[in-house]
Amino acid sequence: MKTGAIVDYIVHWLRAYCDDAGLRGFVVGVSGGIDSAVTSTLCAETGRPLRPVCLPIHQQPAQLSLARRHIAWLKRRFDNITPAEADLGPAFDALRRALPAGMDEDLMTMANTRSRLRMAALYAFAGHHQCLVAGTGNKIEDFGVGFFTKYGDGGVDLAPIADLMKSEVYRIGEYLGLLDAILAATPTDGLWPDNRSDEAQMGASYAELEWAMTHADTVHEKNLDDRQKKVLAIYRRLHRVNRHKMEPIPFPRIPPALKE
């Protein structure tokens, strides 16, 4: 993997896309995880204005601390950074109270609602400052298992790291010199009250899912051990049930004869 060349390629692509769109720069939601740290740093490397935004919703203190530390790191390293933070906790609580009784007890519904609330806030920043919202999804999340919220963290203008496996994102992060605490942090989407990890939610680690995504169409199950078979089944199930997130919005194509 030619890490430096990949970084240069993505940075050039981002800069050209921003200029072609006639916009000023980028907005990135910073969570304290590796994906948002790499994405925000790549956007900063373009030289275009970057607004790294921290949007806590009753966040775990450790996650919020990492997000703030990364933003401070960006500020020290680049002169095109304008950070922002908006506590969405009160807005989230107000929305919960406005929903019918019982809906707020559905943890999955509320987790996705958190993500969608953040998306709305990111686009408020982006629209006001004439910027693009840069997504933070990697290849496994975006095209493998669909591990993102539709119209939440999946609602973006462009996805700089969507062609990078998780292991490649880490290599990019090391190359960029990200904070050790970011590189060592357990991956989590930060949407659950119990701070559950991504692995706990999916049932497999990113390394395992990366293996499954790479071999799903070629591997012979008779040659696999029990864990590999389980991981492959997890990957295939998630890829199937989340396919609607990865494909364009479906619509009925009306036969021309019906429009005459």
* Residues 54-70 pLDDT 10s: 999 998 898 999 999 99
Number of domains in the chain: 1
Residue-level pLDDT at 1: 84
User: Per-residue pLDDT tens for 199-217?
Assistant: 999 999 999 999 999 988 8
> Taking the CB of residue 190, how many other CB atoms lie within 10 A of it?
21
Number of Cβ within 10 Å of residue 87's Cβ equals 14
The answer as to whether 179 is a domain residue is: yes
CATH code of 119's domain: 3.40.50.620
C-beta separation of 53 from 86 below 8 A = yes
Is residue 208 in a domain? no
Query: Confidence band (pLDDT; 50, 70, 90) for 194?
Result: confident
Does residue 260 belong to any structural domain of this protein? no
Contact 41, 178 (CB under 8 A): yes
pLDDT, greater one: 222 or 176: 176
Whole-number pLDDT of residue 60: 87
Using the structure block, give the residue that is written with the tokens 């943890």: 107
User: Does the residue 258 lie in any domain?
Assistant: no
Residue 8 has pLDDT above 80, yes or no: yes
Strands annotated E in the chain:
25-29, 50-54, 84-85, 131-133
For residue 60, being part of any structural domain is answered with yes
* Residue % of the chain over a pLDDT of 90: 84
Which residues form the domain of 25? 3-192
pLDDT recorded at residue 260: 84
pLDDT at position 97 is 93
- 234 is a domain residue: no
User: Residue 232: inside a domain, yes or no?
Assistant: no
Average pLDDT, rounded, for the chain:
94
- 191: pLDDT strictly greater than 90: no
CB 67, CB 32: distance < 8 Å: yes
pLDDT exceeds 80 at position 219: no
What single-letter amino acid sits at 210? Answer: E
pLDDT at 86: 97
Task: Give the DSSP letter string of 81-104.
Answer: B--EE---HHHHHHHHHHSPTTGG
Residue 239, SS3?
Answer: helix
Cα distance between residue 94 and residue 175, in whole Å: 42
Of the pLDDT bands very low, low, confident and very high (cuts 50, 70, 90), residue 131 is very high
Q: Is residue 30 part of a domain?
A: yes
